[in-house]
A and B are shown apart, each in its own frame.
Chain A
Amino acid sequence: MTYLLYTGCVASVRELGYEMSMRAVFKKLGIDLKQRDDFNCCMPACLVHSVDYKRGLALTTRNLAIAEEEDLPLMTLCSSCFGNLSRAKYLLDSNQALKRDVNGLLGEVGREYRGKVRVEHVVTTLYKDYGPDGVKKLSVNPLKGLRAAPFYGCHIFLPERYAGFDEAEFPQKLDKLINATGAESVDYHEKTSCCIGCGAFFGKVSDEAGLKLAEGILDDVKSSGADVIVATCPFCIMQLEVGQIKLRESEGKEYGIPVIHYIDALGLAIGLKPDELGLDLRRISVSPLLEKLGMN
């Protein structure tokens, strides 16, 4: 299978560990990735769309039009990119007048959106192409004894009509994929909460809000007894790692909870080494996790 890689800004600039891990795992699974140098930012709804609804949509949709030229499904790393691109696709595919207007703007640069493209995310792809049974078969090095707290994030499953991935109120697919690696997914209250990592750009107010939410999530994970948080989105990973560092500095709170992406867990289960997965780049040490797995 070949996908057109949409690295997005945050994954390729701030989360190299995630990108390394994704490339290493996909290579081992035989998933080919094609790359281009002309995708623009997915244009978060909270930014450019806030200035002008249709022009914001057109800028997001330009990426979909490029993917259609390649005739390949789009593979996003970041749940926010996945959400913004899926939103554009949903809105345009369900509203012909809006699609005409947006295509009018795209026509000025010689592009057109037809509605043929498929938008995927690393985790949606793993679920659709392999599923829990496939992952179980691939897991030659099952993560036995590991208690993992799934952190879904938002845009991979919300709103359900844009994302089309999992149930809006009780998503379970990340839990199932985690269990398929041999680890045990742990239930906790904040599992489907929002960290506001990708959508809050209002400076100090949202920084404070983000830290407060991170603290609530981390406290809950701590009391669940999980060894690790397994996320789907680079923003969630950053919020929950940086949150631990800030809370240590400001309040002397010591969580020591490693935060990894699902692809890291899968990578370990299929026999890749921690450094091949960029786990040495994590902001919170993964040593306790590797020790538990006997991989140190």
Chain B
Amino acid sequence: MVETKDLLARLLDEKKLSYCQDCGSCTGSCPMAKALPGKYNPRRLLQRVSHDLPELLKSEELWLCAWCYRCTERCPQGVQPTEIFLLTRNLASEGGMIPENPKAIMREIMRSGRSVSVPDGFDEWREGYGLPPIGATISQKAIEEQRKIFGEEYLRRIEA
């Protein structure tokens, strides 16, 4: 179990969270903030990582980043909000706080090797357009490999 203070130390050190000047370049660059004003704000999220972590781990806001990387590209201080959000989500995941939507997609990935399920008879449909078959899933060996790399403990987290 990663301790909260260890995670904070790691974020402050490795990912330079302590360099944040609160300038708001991240929020000004963020498509999700543009679409959801008052609901999503990466600058405020970064503040909450250092000041309000336990509550943040339970919040919906932590799972709204769409990974466009504009904040990470533009931060004048070299802070990488996307990396910080990933590590913060890792901590939420340890506490079993993964929202259902991403969990369902991850279960599909671990079952079939793909994030999108393949409908029945799909290869015949593809063939009609002159496209080679892709199979209902990736090879069984590949599925076993990915489940082994992910590991039992983590499989349990997304199946819970």
- Of the listed residues A14, A41, A44, A212, the one surrounded by the most CB atoms of chain B closer than 10 A to its CB is A41
* Chain B interface main SS type: helix
Q: Scoring B residues 56 to 89 as 1 if CB is less than 8 Å from chain A, else 0, what string do you get?
A: 0000100111111110111000000010001101
* Docked-complex contact A202 and B116, CB < 8 angstroms: no
Q: Are A13 and B150 in contact (CB under 8 A)?
A: no
Residue in A83, A201, A208 whose beta carbon sits within 8 Å of that of B105 in the complex: A201
CB distance B142 to A38 under 8 Å? yes
Check A209 against B36 for contact (C-beta < 8 Å): yes
With A47-B106, A50-B89 as contacts: A37 and B66 at CB distance below 8 Å: no
Q: Is the CB of B118 within 8 A of A13?
A: yes
Q: How far is the CA of A48 from the CA of B154 in the complex (A)?
A: 9
A23 in the interface (beta carbon within 8 A)? yes
| CB–CB A51/B98 < 8 A | yes
With beta carbons under 8 angstroms apart, the residue of B67, B100, B122, B146 that contacts A13 is: B122
Smallest Cβ distance from A294 to chain B, in angstroms? 26
By the criterion CB–CB under 8 Å, are A37 and B149 in contact?
no
Contact A199 B67 (CB under 8 A): yes
Contact present for B68 and A7 (CB under 8 Å): no
> Given A48-B150, A213-B35, do A199 and B157 touch, yes or no (CB 8 Å)?
no
Please measure, in the bound complex, the distance between the C-alpha atom of A162 and the C-alpha atom of B73, giving whole angstroms.
10
Chain B residues near A210 (CB, 8 Å)? 35
Instruction: Give A142 Cβ to nearest chain B Cβ, in Å.
Output: 27
Q: Given A13-B114, A38-B139, do A202 and B67 touch, yes or no (CB 8 Å)?
A: no
Q: How far is the CA of A202 from the CA of B66 in the complex (A)?
A: 9
Report the bound CA distance from A205 to B143 in whole Å. 31
Using A105-B149, A201-B101 as known contacts, say yes or no to A159 and B116 having CB atoms under 8 A apart.
no
Cα of A137 to Cα of B151 in the assembled complex, Å: 52
Query: What residues of A have a CB within 8 angstroms of the CB of B68 in the complex?
Result: 154, 158, 194, 196, 199
In contact, B98 and A50 (Cβ under 8 angstroms): yes
- Please state if A37 and B93 are interface contacts (CB–CB under 8 Å): no
Assembly CA distance A278 to B35 (angstroms) = 32
Q: Of A55-63, A219-227, A256-264, which binds chain B?
A: A55-63
Q: Which residues of chain B come closer than 8 Å to A55, judged between CB atoms?
A: 149-151, 154
A194 to B70, CA, bound (A): 9
Can you offer 14 A-B residue contacts whose CB atoms are under 8 A? A9-B114, A10-B115, A14-B116, A38-B139, A40-B143, A50-B98, A51-B157, A154-B68, A154-B69, A194-B66, A196-B32, A206-B64, A212-B35, A213-B31
B-side residues, CB < 8 A to A, are 31-32, 34-36, 39, 60, 63-70, 72-74, 82, 86-87, 89-90, 93, 98-102, 105-106, 109, 113-118, 122, 126, 129-132, 134-135, 138-139, 141-143, 145-146, 148-151, 154, 157-158
Apart from A50-B86, A51-B154, A201-B102, 16 more pairs, CB < 8 Å? A13-B114, A13-B117, A23-B130, A37-B142, A39-B142, A40-B109, A41-B114, A51-B89, A51-B90, A108-B149, A160-B73, A168-B74, A198-B67, A199-B66, A208-B36, A210-B35
Listed from nearest, the 8 A-B pairs whose CB atoms lie closest are: A199-B66, A209-B35, A199-B67, A38-B142, A194-B31, A50-B89, A194-B68, A196-B66
Interface residues of A (CB under 8 A from B): 7, 9-10, 12-14, 16, 19-20, 23, 35, 37-41, 43-53, 55, 58-59, 62, 83, 105-106, 108-109, 111, 154-155, 158-160, 162, 168, 193-196, 198-203, 205-206, 208-210, 212-213, 216, 278, 281
